[in-house]
A and B are shown apart, each in its own frame.
Chain A
Amino acid sequence: MLDRLQAVGRYGLDFFESVGRATLFLARILCAVPRPRQAFPLLLRQMFNVGLLSLLIIVVSGLFIGMVMALQGYSNLARFGTTDALGTLVALSMLRELGPVVTGLLFAGRAGSAITAEIGLMRATEQLSSLEMIGVDPIRRVVSPRFWAGFYSMPMLALIFNTVAIYGGAWISIDLLGVDGGSYWTNTIEAVSFSQDVVNGVIKSFVFGALAAWIAVYQGYDADPNPQGIASATTRTVVYSSLAILGLDLILTAIMFGDF
């Protein structure tokens, strides 16, 4: 019994120690003042790796989720004779929830895991130590560009996801299910508030992007420098990011859209 209590205590202490180290690590990233001449090309390159290379999975997922949403929505709304609201349903679900959350989850799986593996391998092959010995701060050179690339890429990816999903939903609704195109788009445009729905969705994406990128760079930097250490760090990135995004989404939704 005492052993179990001890184990729980140790797990708790390890957890808080890890959170503390991750917070200090974030502070170091935020305090690393970039030198524009060197930092901008590095940021662009990482935005290519993190953002552009994630585009395919984001577009395909957005298209399919939008189409499925339209099919599911139609079969339910048809029972109440309110298929005109289909566009509103798809657009609001995407902009408020599914866009930022699903993009965040896909981002953690596609880009977050790649960032962790890359930084972990750089540690294992002594490239980070090598940077330090050359007189270059690895936080500024390796970690910061990846963190900020995640932060800036996520909202763009979420917006692309939303756009593709809404058009996917419209295609299914109008061309396949026979919903009137005019009322579909009119209802959608009337129901969506830019300041309430679009802006809040974008704020969520920034938060999820920062969260996923922070977890990914920290796990990579903190990984044990061996194959097993890198493998478990990569897994932790995906699991922790997904849980953190889902948990934080509930809190943000309650703050942004909760009526209390």
Chain B
Amino acid sequence: MNDTNAMNDANVNFVELRDVNFAYRDRTIYDAVNIDIKRGKVTVIFGPSGSGKTTLLRLIGGQVKAHKGSVHVDGNDMADLSRAELLKLRTRMGMLFQSGALFTDLTVFENVAFPLRVHTQLPENMLRDIVLMKLQAVGLRGARNLMPHELSGGMQRRAALARAIVFDPNIIMYDEPFAGQDPISKGVLVRLIRLLNDSLDITSVIVSHDIKVATSIADYMYLVADSNVVAHGTPDDLLANESPRVCQFMRGLPDGPVPFHYPAPDYAQELMQS
């Protein structure tokens, strides 16, 4: 009974990052970061390039471990899980990579069927039905016999999305899903993400630069910069935020707290030297 209540309670955090520190060699990516991702909501993480947005998805997926602090996903402390437990937990997570990451030697059908073949012993006709249902959901049932290189970038991501939802996961993470997409593909992806989130009661985490699209789809947003969360709130909260840093990002201004110029000595002085 309690579990059911917890599942239905939208205020329950599906993912919790507490005081997370993470660094690649000498470069600090996160310094005492706290992020909550609510169950059943679409949360958008945005920020400048190289601010570690993709790393956040890797932390949630357990592909990298926090150096300090804790990452909890669906009540599991990611640091305590054994490799086998982690692989099992990941079957309840879907991830859409920036490049789609379809297996290039398999057809679209086999790509979507892959997780089922690896983790289940379903009879072939049942497996076929599930794969066709997922492909139908992303509009690619007719493209099932094509190889990934025969698909456009947008279609590759949709095929990868079909693969990501094949186990009806509790959470889907999208890494820059709109990058390099034409307006039609972008519109299709936005509709699909919202549809999947609402109809399957999935928790969605989107890493994106595209403020316009992000604000249209997000229930909640986090702005990550300089190794920390700079601002968070609903899209309306952030649009109304008057801090120069948030304004620069939300309005796409070329100069501001994030400077246009890479750090360099004085321009006039350098010209005089020559």
Contacts and interface: CB of A to CB of B under 8 A. Distances in A.
Interface of A: 38, 125-127, 129-130, 132-137
A134 B97 contact: no
Given A125-B99, A126-B98, A135-B88, 14 more contacts: A125-B101, A126-B99, A126-B101, A127-B104, A132-B63, A132-B87, A133-B61, A134-B91, A134-B163, A135-B87, A135-B90, A135-B115, A135-B118, A137-B87
Contacts of B61: 132-133
B24 to A, nearest CB: 13
A133 B63 contact: yes
Interface in B82-115: 83, 87-88, 90-91, 93-95, 97-99, 101-104, 114-115
Contacts of A129: 58, 63, 95, 97, 101
12 contacts: A125-B99, A127-B101, A127-B104, A129-B95, A129-B101, A132-B63, A133-B61, A134-B115, A134-B118, A134-B163, A135-B91, A135-B115
Contact of A125 (B95, B104, B163): B104
A135 B116 CA distance: 11
Contacts, number: 50
A160 to B, nearest CB: 27
B119 interface: yes
A130 B97 contact: yes
Nearest to B121: A37
Nearest to B94: A133
Contact of A126 (B91, B97, B163): B97
A136 B61 CA distance: 13
A136 B84 CA distance: 10
Main DSSP-derived SS at the B contact region:
mixed
A129 B61 CA distance: 10
B63 A134 contact: no
Nearest to B166: A134
A223 B83 CA distance: 23
Nearest to A141: B118
Given A38-B118, A135-B115, A135-B119, A130 B95 contact: yes
Closest 10 CB pairs of A and B: A130-B101, A126-B101, A133-B95, A126-B97, A135-B87, A135-B90, A135-B91, A134-B115, A127-B101, A125-B99
- Candidate in A126, A132, A134 with the most chain B CB atoms within 10 angstroms: A134
Contacts of A38: 118
A38 B88 CA distance: 18
Contacts of B90: 132-135
A204 B238 CA distance: 67
A134 B94 CA distance: 7
Contacts of A126: 97-99, 101
A154 B133 CA distance: 45
A242 B58 CA distance: 37
A129 B164 CA distance: 13
Contacts of B98: 126
A129 B90 CA distance: 12
B93 A133 contact: yes
A25 to B, nearest CB: 15
- Candidate in B63, B97, B101 with the most chain A CB atoms within 10 angstroms: B101
